[in-house]
C-alpha cells in the first residue's frame, strides 16, 4: 500500500528540495508530493568587482575570493534565496528599473525550478517513485510549464490523478491574501475550481484533496494578525484564521479520506474534519529543515497511520 | 514580480524581494515586551514571592534583585538564541526533543510545562485571595467574605475561579486577551504610580499612624498594631536590617526571587507562531526589557517600602503572617490577620475606604492581565507532543466553531481541579507547591543543556543560523551563556533540594510528599512515552524518526 511523503512551502530552499527527493529512500515512500510555493522570495546579488565578490547575507557583508563563491551560493540557496551574479553597473541598472528586475527574477527563478526538476530526474529516475508538484499561490504561472517539461515530476495542478487505488485532486490556488500573489481568486471561484475536479471522483473514501490553502477555522490556518500596513499585531502572538471557506466547504461536503495543505507555515497540525484527516505539516525552509507528513494508506483501512516529521 | 529592493551596504542594494505571501513588517518590540513584563509580574508574583524574603533576614534584597537580573540575562540570551536558531511552537519541548532526543525531551519538558503547571493553578488562586478578594472584602467591611476566602473551601472556590478565567482566556484567543492585557497594563501602571506616589510622599510616622488607624478600623486590632506586629513576629523572627550586605545570605535570596524573576522567557513556547523571531534582536529585547524594567521597578518599590513602611516592620509582618499560618513553633497570630500587601498598606495612607478599595481593584488588574497566560504555553507544548504522535491526536483538537483547544484544556483543567482540591483540603502537601518553581527551573536547565551542545548536536542547523557568528574566544556564544545560565540554575536547584535548614520548604530530606509527587510525575512521563512508542510502532510509526534529519546528498 502506498506510503506518501508530503512536504510543502519549500520557497526555494535547495536543501529542503534535496531532502525532499531523498525522503523517498529515507522513509521508504513510493509517492512524493510537494504541496506548492516552491519558488524563492528573494534574490541576493553577488557583486563581482576587481577580482573579488561582495555579498550581504542576513545583514552580514562579506567580501570573498572566487574559490569561496560556491560556498556563498550554497548558503544563499539553503535559505531559499537565489544567488545573482552581477557587475556593479548591472546591479545599479536592476536597482533603478523595476521591469528589468522582474524579468531577471523570473528568469533566475525558472532556472531554479528547472535545476530542481533535473535533480529529481537524476536522483529518482527508474526508482519507481512518483513525484507530484503542485505550484502554490506564490509560484508564477510559468512554473507549470517548466514542471511539465520534466520527465520525472508530474504536475498536479487541476488534475485528477490515480495513486494505487486512491484519487488525488490538486490545486495551488488560494483565497485572496494581503500580498496579491499569483494564484489568488475569490472563494466562489476557488470553490468552482475544486468542485470541477471533485466531480471526477466517485469514491471520496479513497480520495485525497491536495489543496495548498488550508480550510477555514480548522486550526491549520492560524496566521499572525497583521494590520493594513502588514505590521504584526500584539507582538506577533495574536492569531487569526485565514484559511479558505471554499476549501472548508468542499471538505465538509465531500469528506475525502485525506486533505493535504500548506500556505500557513506556522500552523502545523493534523485535525479530523468529520471523516477527513486534514494535515498541514508547516514549513521551516529558512532553517533547511524539511517539515513533512508521512502517511501510510491502506486500501481497506484508508489511513493506516500518519506522522509529522522534521527531517 | 520583483518589486522591492531592500537593505544596503553603502549605497548598494543587497536584496531584491518579490511580492510573496507572509512578507510582513516587524512586530512591535513593545507588544512583545508587555507579554514578557507580565510574565515576571512585579506586583502579583513579585510582592508575593518577596514576602518570603524574611526567611533570609541578613539578605540584602536590593543587591539580590540586581544580581538576579544580571544572571537571568544569560537565560534571556540563551533562549533568544534558541528561538533564533529554531523558532518552534512548543519551545522547551521542541528544543529538547530535537537536540537531546525525543524521549528525554518529552519527559523533561512535559513534567515542567504540563504536570507542574497543575501546581500553579492553586498558587495563582492563593495570590488572588491574598491580593484581591481578602483585602478588598476587608476594606469594604465584608468580613464574612474575607473569612470565607481564607477557609479551605474559599481557597478551592478561588482555584475554580482561576481555572474558569484561564479557560475563558484560552477560548477567547490571544488576540482578544492581548487587548485586555494592554488595557490592564496601562491602568495597572497608573495604579502603581499612585502607590509609589503615596509611599514616596508619606513619612514613616504617617504610615505608622495610618496602619494603626486602619488596623483598628478594618480588623478590630488593639491600639498600636504597628508595634504589635513587630512584637508578634519577634517570637519567631530576629528582625531584618536593610543595610546588611553579607554575600552568603544575598545568594540565598536568589531561589526566592526566582519565584517571579525567572520567567522572562515564559512566551518562548509561542515563538514558533511569530514570524520574524529568527531575528534575535526581537525576542532578546522583548525578554530583556521585560526582565530589567521589572528589576528596576522592584528595586524602586523596595526602596519606597524601606523608606516609608520600614523594612524591619515589613519583614516582621511577613514573618508573623507566614509563621503563624505554617504553625511554626512559638508563632503567635499578628494583630492584622491578613497577608501584608504593600498596595493595601499604601492605600491606608488615604483615610478613605472607597479609595482604598478602588486602589486594590485597579492593582488587581496586574493579576487579571497576567493570569490568563497560565496554560497558554502548556497548550502549545501539548500540541507539539500531539503533532509528534507521542500524545493522542485529540490532544491537539480544536473545536470548529470557537477554535477552543478542548483536548489540551481538558488535559490541563481536570488534573488542576484535583490538585487544587488537594491544595485546599490537604495542608500536608504544601511543600509540593513550593517546589513548583524548582521543577520548572529543572526544565529550563534541560533546555540550557540543549543550547550548550546545540552547535555540535545540530551543527548544520546551528551553522546556518544568524547566531553562529557570535563567538567568545572561538567558543560559540550560545555555549558560553548556556554554561553560565546552567551554573546559575544548578546553584538554585541545589539550594532548593539540599538546603540544610530547609529554608525554602523544599529540601528533599524533609519533604517526602514532594519527592513522591515529582518522582511520580517523571515516572508517568516515562510511561506515557514508552506506551506511545510501542503503540505507534504497531501502527507503523517510529517515534525515533520524527527528528532524524534526512540526508541532503
Average pLDDT (B503-531) is: 90
Cβ <8 Å between A287 and B545: no
Cβ <8 Å between B461 and A84: no
Q: Which of A56, A122, A310 to mutate to test the interface with B (most CBs of B within 10 A)?
A: A310
d(CA A170, CA A198): 10
From the CA of A167, how many Å to the nearest CA of chain B? Answer: 23
pLDDT of residue B278: 63
B553 interaction partners in chain A (CB closer than 8 Å):
18, 22
A140 interfacial to chain B (CB closer than 8 Å): yes
Per-residue pLDDT of chain A (311 residues; tens, 9 = 90+): 789 999 999 999 999 999 999 999 999 999 999 999 999 988 999 999 888 999 988 777 889 999 999 999 988 888 889 999 999 999 999 988 889 999 999 999 999 999 999 999 999 999 999 999 999 999 999 999 999 999 999 999 999 999 999 999 999 999 999 888 999 999 999 999 999 999 999 999 999 999 999 999 998 998 888 888 777 777 677 788 999 999 999 999 999 999 999 999 988 999 899 999 999 999 988 878 899 999 999 988 899 999 999 88
Task: Match 504589635 to its residue by C-alpha cell.
Answer: B228
Q: Which residue has the higher pLDDT, B415 or B384?
A: B415
B277 interfacial to chain A (CB closer than 8 Å): yes
Is pLDDT of B27 > 70?
A: no
Cβ <8 Å between A308 and B539: no
Q: Which of B89, B98, B400 sits opposite A217 (nearest CB)?
A: B400
SS (H, E, C) chain A: CCEEEEECCCCCCHHHHHHHHHHHHHCCCCEEEECCCCCCCEEEEEEEECCEEEEEECCEEEEECHHHHHHHHHHHHHCCEEEEEECHHHHHHHHHCHHHHHHHHHHHHHHHHHHHHHHHHHHHCCCCCEEEECCCCCCCCHHHHHHHHCCCEEECCCCEEEECCEEEEEECCECCCCCCCCCECCHHHHHHHHHHHHCCCCCHHHEEEEECCCECCCCCCEEECECCCCEECHHHCCEEECCEHHHHHHHHHHCCCEEECCCCCCCCEEEEECCEEEEECCCEHHHCECEEEEEEEECCCEEEEEEEEEC
B539 interaction partners in chain A (CB closer than 8 Å):
304-305
Cβ <8 Å between A41 and B18: yes
Is pLDDT of B7 > 60?
A: no
Q: Within a 10 A sphere around the Cβ of A272, how many other Cβ atoms?
A: 12
Cβ <8 Å between B549 and A218: no
pLDDT of residue B23: 67
pLDDT of residue B275: 53
Rounded percentage of chain B residues whose pLDDT exceeds 90: 57
Cβ <8 Å between A61 and B389: no
Most confident of B53-62, B184-193, B536-545: B184-193
B positions 11-30 inside 8 Å of A (CB): 12-29
SS3 state at B3? strand
From the CA of A223, how many Å to the nearest CA of chain B? Answer: 8
pLDDT of residue B488: 97
Average pLDDT (B89-100) is: 83
Q: Which residue has the higher pLDDT, B289 or B4?
A: B289
B480: its cell numbers = 558560553
Average pLDDT (B226-239) is: 94
A228: its cell numbers = 493594513
Cβ <8 Å between B175 and A22: no
Residue B4's pLDDT band, with cuts at 50, 70 and 90, is low
B538 interfacial to chain A (CB closer than 8 Å): no
Most confident of B91-100, B160-169, B378-387: B160-169
From the CA of A27, how many Å to the nearest CA of chain B? Answer: 9
In this prediction the pTM is 0.83
B461 interaction partners in chain A (CB closer than 8 Å):
287-289
d(CA B265, CA B286): 9
d(CA A131, CA A213): 20
pLDDT of residue B271: 64
A260 interfacial to chain B (CB closer than 8 Å): no
Is pLDDT of B128 > 70?
A: yes
pLDDT in tens, B430-447: 778 888 889 899 999 999
A95 interaction partners in chain B (CB closer than 8 Å):
5, 12-13
A positions 177-236 inside 8 Å of B (CB): 177, 179-182, 217-219, 222-226, 229-236
* Average pLDDT of every residue of chain B: 89
Is pLDDT of B276 > 60?
A: no
pLDDT of residue B16: 85
Residue B2's pLDDT band, with cuts at 50, 70 and 90, is very low
Most confident of A289-303, B35-49, B336-350: B336-350
Residue B87's pLDDT band, with cuts at 50, 70 and 90, is confident
Q: Which of A71, A233, A235, A297 to mutate to test the interface with B (most CBs of B within 10 A)?
A: A235
Amino acid at each position: 500500500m502506498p506510503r506518501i511523503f508530503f512536504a510543502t512551502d519549500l520557497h526555494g530552499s535547495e536543501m529542503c528540495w534535496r531532502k525532499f527527493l531523498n525522503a523517498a529512500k529515507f522513509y521508504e515512500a513510493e509517492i512524493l508530493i510537494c504541496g506548492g510555493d516552491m519558488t524563492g522570495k528573494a534574490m541576493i546579488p553577488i557583486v563581482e568587482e576587481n577580482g573579488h565578490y561582495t555579498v550581504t547575507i542576513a545583514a552580514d557583508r562579506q567580501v570573498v575570493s572566487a574559490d569561496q563563491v560556491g560556498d556563498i551560493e550554497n548558503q544563499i540557496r539553503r535559505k531559499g534565496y537565489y544567488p545573482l551574479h552581477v557587475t556593479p553597473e548591472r546591479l545599479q541598472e536592476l536597482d533603478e528599473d523595476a521591469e528589468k528586475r522582474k524579468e531577471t527574477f523570473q528568469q533566475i527563478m525558472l532556472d531554479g525550478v528547472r535545476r530542481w526538476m533535473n535533480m529529481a530526474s537524476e536522483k529518482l529516475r527508474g526508482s519507481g517513485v512518483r513525484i507530484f508538484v503542485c505550484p502554490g499561490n506564490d509560484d508564477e504561472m510559468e512554473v507549470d510549464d517548466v514542471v511539465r517539461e520534466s520527465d520525472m515530476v508530474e504536475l498536479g495542478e487541476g488534475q485528477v490523478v490515480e495513486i494505487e487505488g486512491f484519487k488525488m485532486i490538486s490545486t495551488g490556488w488560494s483565497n485572496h491574501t494581503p500580498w496579491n500573489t499569483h494564484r489568488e481568486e475569490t472563494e466562489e471561484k476557488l470553490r468552482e475550481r475544486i468542485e470541477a475536479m471533485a466531480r471526477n471522483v466517485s469514491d471520496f473514501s479513497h480520495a485525497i484533496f491536495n489543496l495548498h490553502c488550508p480550510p477555514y477555522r480548522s486550526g491549520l490556518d492560524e496566521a499572525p494578525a497583521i494590520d493594513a500596513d502588514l505590521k504584526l499585531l500584539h507582538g506577533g502572538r495574536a492569531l487569526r484564521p485565514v484559511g479558505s471557506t471554499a476549501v472548508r466547504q468542499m471538505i465538509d461536503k465531500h469528506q475525502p479520506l485525506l486533505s493535504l495543505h500548506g500556505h500557513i507555515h506556522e500552523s502545523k497540525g493534523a485535525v479530523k474534519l468529520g471523516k477527513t484527516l486534514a494535515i498541514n505539516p508547516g514549513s521551516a525552509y529558512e532553517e533547511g529543515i524539511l517539515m513533512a507528513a508521512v502517511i501510510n494508506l491502506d486500501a481497506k483501512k484508508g489511513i493506516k497511520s500518519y506522522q509529522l516529521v522534521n527531517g | 514580480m520583483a518589486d522591492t529592493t531592500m537593505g544596503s551596504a553603502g549605497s548598494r542594494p543587497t536584496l531584491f524581494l518579490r511580492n510573496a505571501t507572509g512578507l510582513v513588517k516587524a512586530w512591535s518590540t513593545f507588544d512583545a515586551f508587555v507579554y514578557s513584563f507580565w510574565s515576571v509580574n512585579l506586583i502579583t508574583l513579585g510582592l508575593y514571592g518577596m514576602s518570603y524574603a524574611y526567611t533570609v533576614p541578613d539578605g540584602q534584597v536590593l543587591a539580590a534583585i540586581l544580581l538576579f537580573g544580571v544572571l537571568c540575562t544569560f537565560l534571556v540570551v540563551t533562549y533568544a538564541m534558541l528561538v533564533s536558531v529554531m523558532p518552534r511552537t512548543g519551545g522547551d519541548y521542541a528544543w529538547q526533543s530535537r537536540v537531546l532526543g525525543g524521549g528525554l525531551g518529552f519527559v523533561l519538558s512535559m513534567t515542567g510545562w504540563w504536570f507542574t503547571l497543575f501546581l500553579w493553578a492553586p498558587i495563582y488562586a492563593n495570590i488572588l485571595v491574598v491580593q484581591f478578594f481578602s483585602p478588598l472584602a476587608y476594606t469594604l467591611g465584608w468580613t464574612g467574605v474575607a473569612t470565607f476566602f481564607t477557609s479551605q473551601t474559599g481557597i478551592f472556590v478561588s482555584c475554580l475561579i482561576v481555572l474558569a478565567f484561564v479557560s475563558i482566556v484560552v477560548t477567547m484567543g490571544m488576540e482578544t486577551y492581548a487587548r485586555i492585557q494592554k488595557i490592564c497594563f496601562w491602568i495597572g501602571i497608573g495604579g502603581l504610580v499612585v502607590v509609589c506616589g503615596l509611599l514616596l510622599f508619606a513619612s514613616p510616622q504617617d504610615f505608622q499612624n495610618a496602619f494603626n488607624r486602619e488596623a483598628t478600623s478594618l480588623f478590630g486590632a488593639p491600639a498600636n498594631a504597628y508595634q504589635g506586629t513587630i512584637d508578634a513576629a519577634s517570637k519567631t523572627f530576629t528582625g531584618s536590617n536593610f543595610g546588611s550586605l553579607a554575600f552568603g545570605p544575598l545568594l540565598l535570596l536568589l531561589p526566592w526571587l526566582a519565584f517571579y524573576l525567572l520567567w522572562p522567557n515564559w512566551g518562548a513556547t509561542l515563538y514558533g507562531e511569530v514570524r520574524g523571531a529568527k531575528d534575535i534582536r526581537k525576542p532578546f529585547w522583548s525578554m530583556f526589557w521585560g526582565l530589567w524594567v521589572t528589576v528596576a521597578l522592584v528595586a524602586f518599590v523596595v526602596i519606597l517600602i524601606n523608606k516609608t513602611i520600614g523594612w524591619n516592620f515589613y519583614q516582621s509582618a511577613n514573618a508573623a503572617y507566614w509563621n503563624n499560618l505554617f504553625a511554626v513553633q512559638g508563632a503567635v497570630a499578628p494583630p492584622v490577620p491578613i497577608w501584608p500587601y504593600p498596595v493595601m498598606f499604601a492605600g491606608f495612607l488615604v483615610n478613605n475606604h472607597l479609595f482604598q478599595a478602588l486602589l486594590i481593584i485597579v492593582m488587581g488588574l496586574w493579576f487579571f492581565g497576567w493570569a490568563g497566560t497560565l496554560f497558554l504555553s502548556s497548550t502549545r507544548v501539548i500540541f507539539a507532543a500531539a503533532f509528534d504522535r507521542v500524545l493522542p491526536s485529540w490532544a491537539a483538537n480544536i473545536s470548529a466553531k470557537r477554535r477552543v483547544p478542548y483536548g489540551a484544556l481538558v488535559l490541563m483543567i481536570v488534573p488542576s481541579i484535583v490538585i487544587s482540591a488537594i491544595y485546599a483540603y490537604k495542608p500536608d502537601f504544601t511543600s509540593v507547591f513550593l517546589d513548583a518553581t524548582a521543577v520548572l527551573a529543572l526544565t529550563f536547565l534541560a533546555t540550557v543543556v540543549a543550547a550548550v551542545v546545540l552547535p555540535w548536536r545540530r551543527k548544520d542547523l546551528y551553522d546556518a543560523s544568524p547566531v553562529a557568528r557570535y563567538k567568545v574566544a572561538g567558543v560559540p556564544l550560545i555555549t558560553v551563556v548556556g554554561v553560565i545560565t546552567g551554573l546559575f540554575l544548578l546553584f538554585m536547584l541545589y539550594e532548593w533540594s539540599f538546603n540544610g535548614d530547609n529554608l525554602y520548604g523544599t529540601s528533599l530530606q524533609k519533604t517526602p510528599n514532594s519527592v513522591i509527587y515529582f518522582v511520580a510525575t517523571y515516572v508517568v512521563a516515562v510511561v506515557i512515552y514508552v506506551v506511545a512508542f510501542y503503540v505507534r510502532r504497531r501502527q507503523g510509526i517510529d517515534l525515533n524518526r520524527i527528528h532524524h534529519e534526512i540526508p541532503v546528498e
